[in-house]
Amino acid sequence: MLRRRLNRLLSGDERRVDSRTIYVGHRPCPATEAFIPPKFCDNRIVSSKYTVWNFLPKNLFEQFRRIANFYFLIIFLVQVIVDTPTSPVTSGLPLFFVITVTAIKQGYEDWLRHKADNEVNKYLVTVLEDGRRTRKESEKIKVGDVVEVEEDETFPCDLILLQSSRDDDTCFVTTASLDGESNHKTHYTVPDTEKDLESLNATIECEQPQPDLYKFVGRMHIYKNDQEPAVRSLGPENLLLKGATLKNTQKIFGVAVYTGMETKMALNYQGKSQKRSAVEKSINAFLLVYLCILVSKALVCTTLKYVWQSNPGQDEPWYNQKTQREKDTNLYLKMFTDFLSFMVLFNFIIPVSMYVTVEMQKFLGSFFIAWDKDFFDPEIQEGALVNTSDLNEELGQVEYVFTDKTGTLTQNNMEFIECCIDGFQYKYQDAASELDGFCVTDGPLSKLQQKAGREKEELFLRALCLCHTVQVKESTGQGDGLMNQVDGLELDGEVVRPEDQRGFIASSPDEVALVKGAMRYGFTFLGLESKNMKILNRNNDVEMYELLHVLNFDPVRRRMSVIVRTKSGDTLLFCKGADSSIFPRVRQDEVDRIRMHVERNATEGYRTLCVAYKKLTAEEYAQADTGLREARLALQDREEKLMAVYNQVETGMSLVGATAVEDRLQEEAAETMEALQGAGIKVWVLTGDKMETAKSTCYACRLFQRGTELLELTVRTLEEGGRKREERLHELLLDYHKKAVQDAAPVKAGVTRSWSTANQDYGFIIDGATLSMVLNSSPDANSGLYKSLFLQICQNCTAVLCCRMAPLQKAQIVKMVKNSKGGPITLSIGDGANDVSMILEAHVGIGIKGKEGRQAVRNSDYAIPKLKHLKKLLLAHGHLYYVRIAHLVQYFFYKNLCFILPQFLYQFFCGYSQQPLYDAAYLTMYNICFTSMPILAYSLLEQHIYMENLLDNATLYREIAKNAMLRWGPFLYWTLLGIFHGLLFFFGVRCLFSNPALQDNGQVFGNWSYGTIVFTVLVFTVTLKLALDTRHWTWINHFVIWGSLAFYVFFSFFWGGIIWPFLKQQRLYFVFANMLSSVSAWLVIILLILLSLLPDILLVVLRKPRGPHARQIAAVTPLSYKHLKERE
């Protein structure tokens, strides 16, 4: 064994080995073992993308992966190398500006991530070293260190629990930030470890790091002087996970087994990849089209130039003889440089400044989300938070929403609502009514039954007080206060809540709710002391019960029991569980009386549990006791053996009653879900919770309706047929596919259930175990088939519920839908660290600032205080952002086409000599100054439909679904409009020039005047076109639109009115002022602007608003929309 271990450790790469050996406290074992300190990773957590050293190269590489940036870099280099008609500054300056702005923005976002990492890594922890307690930074913890953690601290890495301050060698933890469950879980120390950890000599052998939170296999060898080492098995109950918090335990000591990026929490992280929006993909597609237009223009001009020059006398006129060097130049090289020169001349058709404007629009636009007062939550005194501004418009394109349940849909606050005892419904009321605070509403026999019911009631309440695993929080000197509070409850009719004085801790919040429910009616659980459970009954007497066994809850049995012995020596079994698991084990006549209540409560969205009991004879107990003890010691098939004993004991019980507990939904959760479905968005609930609970939440949120047929694919349905699971899975998938896909009437895209009442609605339920079978089934042809069947069924269901999911499975589901046919846009929303992987996987990730730490918020793209804010975020903000940016993109391509088309047409009239139509100043300033501000203001402030209307009418969201405004149809419309305007500008001004004498003194206008008139018409037309499209005018719109036009006129006078010493040739000297002295020029400018905008003006005047579903959204004015609402 020694040789084998030596070989394993010396064989190099530790990762290839299937287990690791850890020396507790880094102490070498007895001399028989060779001590080789193994190498493991440190305890640093890294979620940032850049470092100081790699920021520049990595960021530049990412930015130049964008087509436009790379293209402008090439154009800039061409301008520097080749003699081109325009200066390199015209493309170099905008490019430098774009790259710098983007780099600053991304650098700042990454700096925030570094800051968050440092908070975690620099956190001080206590480590035991050579008998001394030393404080260390969390990142310096090594595997094998013994760490001390105090109450309410989080574990800095994955630890094996060695010692606890509690007498019973246990500790309580909450794993809210890992799996979303805020209840307390009990963990146990390794048995037989030394009380003095200094003298503990031990090694731990355990598996290599893996992401499953609920699995851990290992063993610990404890060496004592000259004795055979004791071996103790280690399981998940001994492992404390990084990110979990210690509760109700003063302090614990544990040894680090997994650190840093190898902890289970880190392994459940997805790396943060760069998220790209669909709009960016559309921009790239349009850019390629315009790139083709550019290349074809350059090719046409180059070809025609050489055709024209082939005519005698054209190539070398007498007044422009070629130099010797020009004659010696290779023809093909000259053709190539001419082609490049034309490319440079026309390159403004590709709008580099669009990228700057889009970046600015996203960055500034994100502030509107942060500033929205509706997102402010007075409870936590915070509003919404934007971590990534690149995805604003994606919020308007969401097709699938994946939501967590606990803490997102629900508040994770359980409240006891009502119970039913022996067929009578008891609803709690604040004032004491008959039966000591019970209110009997069902059954005409209530008054007659009053006395007989008393025993049953007390039996029921005792069952609630005994059948649980609740611990009483150690009260701090408030014991007397508690007794008085309970007295107060009995004496006055007022409800005084004793639970405010004493806290309960349980593995599930329902258990606390039931204990508190019993407490309201006079039965108080006082706690467990050395295996004795104490209850304070209605008469203020303390009853003692000896706790013999707890038959733990498990998801397959779906019930839990306790066996207790009363003072009088009776042995009682109390059992509580889901109706489906209790009803078959009790007498049938009792079931009929209670079933009605249970079903009614379940449809109201309450969590229901049935309570039963049984008196055990001495023989029955002895048999059960022996069976349980044997099964608990078994190393093989321990769970199966325990299950057999449990099932044997829990038979022939008597049904006492049922309880209804409510997990309060988040405020407006149902309305939010309904609005999302009305907007054509499909909602999937992904939760780690039990199926029954999740199902009742889905009913309460109106995701499942009463008429919804549920298709269930869970471990339970797979085991029903008694056949192999694989076969049953295949059969069920085919059956459901036939029902939901083949036999279902074809549903029109985006039709919600309210319109499709004739069709059967389906809801789909799957659990984690079955999902892993579907996704990772045997590597034959079936795996792909299962996946596609599963996906098709899900896509045809109105809502899908996935329960008992591990964090990575949530991400797998999102990834599967994201990569499905049509690439739908997905959104994930959650509040715990268990949701981080799905938040990072989806196109848009939203964190909720809930009770479960800030892990989800830190990794999300957007964070909102409550689920209800999602409605406005998508239906109002998302809708508007998308419409704004879509208009911005189309408008940019349009205005650059208007700009460069006259330049292209001009080549036909200047011998293809690459003569620019516009002055260099105009070329540079057109996109940067003259036309950039109005579209930026539009893209930030435009509201083509009022926000209230967008929220009231969710169906408007569908109008822009699937990137409707950036499809090829609208793109073609804008392109044709640009061509029409370009032709009109050029040939309109050419008609003017057919009259030679345009000035009073009879002088002729030159080519720069020609270009300036075209440019003036161009600037005014594109700016006024935007003014016509604006529906929501603010003072900012007025300022930038009229200000831009005024600035253009001022600049033209200024630029042409002074002799600039740094210019070699001053082309525009007094050209603009001269032009305006001509009445004809004035007339043509005004006429051409009116002619260009005439189609738009006619459209606005003649179009009748066609209601809320008008296809051309931008044409529905808020005013017409309001009247329409009133008329309806």
Q: Which active-site residues does the annotation give? A: 404
CA distance 603 to 598: 9
DSSP type of residue 746: P
- Quickly list DSSP for 503-567: -EE-SSHHHHHHHHHHHHTT-EEEEEETTEEEEE-TTSPEEEEEEEEEE---TTT-EEEEEEE-T
Q: Tell me 377's DSSP state.
A: B
DSSP designation for 667: T
Residue with tokens 């154009």: 75
- State how far the alpha carbon of 597 is from the alpha carbons of 446, 459, 510, 559, 588, in Å: 16, 19, 19, 19, 15
Q: What is the DSSP string of 571-612?
A: EEEEEEE-HHHHGGGB-HHHHHHHHHHHHHHHHTT-EEEEEE
How many Å is the Cα radius of gyration of the chain?
A: 38
Residues with Cβ within 8 Å of 623's Cβ and at least 6 positions away in sequence, in order, are: none
Q: What is the largest CA-CA distance in the chain?
A: 130
User: DSSP string spanning 902-919?
Assistant: HHHHHHTTTTT----SS-
Name the 3-class secondary structure at 828.
Answer: strand
Percent helix, strand and coil across the chain, each to the nearest 5: 50, 15, 35
Give, as one character, the DSSP assignment of residue 874: I
How far is residue 841 CA from its own chain's centroid? 8
> Cα separation of 1008 and 554, whole Å?
86
Please give the span between the terminal C-alpha atoms of the chain, in angstroms, as a whole number.
Answer: 85
Contacts of residue 398, Cβ cutoff 8 Å, sequence gap at least 6: 681, 825, 826, 827, 843, 844, 874, 878
Rounded to whole angstroms, how far apart are CA atoms 927 and 800?
48
Q: State whether the Cα torsion 706-709-715-720 is positive or negative.
A: positive
Give the C-alpha separation, 599 to 579, whole Å. Answer: 9
Q: How far is CA 269 from CA 45, 132, 390, 835, in A?
A: 11, 35, 22, 9
CB 651 within 8 Å of CB 557: no
Query: Residue 803: how many CB atoms within 10 A of its CB?
Result: 24
Helix (H, G, I), strand (E, B) or coil at 618: helix
Q: Using the CB atoms, write b or e for 398-433: b if 16+ within 10 Å.
A: bbbbbbbbbbbbbbbebbbbbbbbbbbbbebeeebe
Say how far apart CA 740 and CA 709 lie, in whole Å.
Answer: 10
Decide if 346 contacts 294 (C-beta within 8 A): yes
Cα–Cα distance list, 421 to 433, 489, 559, 609 (Å): 17, 22, 19, 12
CA geometry: angle 1057, 1061, 1067, nearest 5 deg: 50
1033: left (phi over 0), alpha (psi -120 to 50) or beta: beta
- 398, 299, 385, 285: which is closest to 343 by C-alpha? 299
Structure-token pair, residue 478: 């408030």
Round to whole Å and give the CA distance between 845 and 394: 11
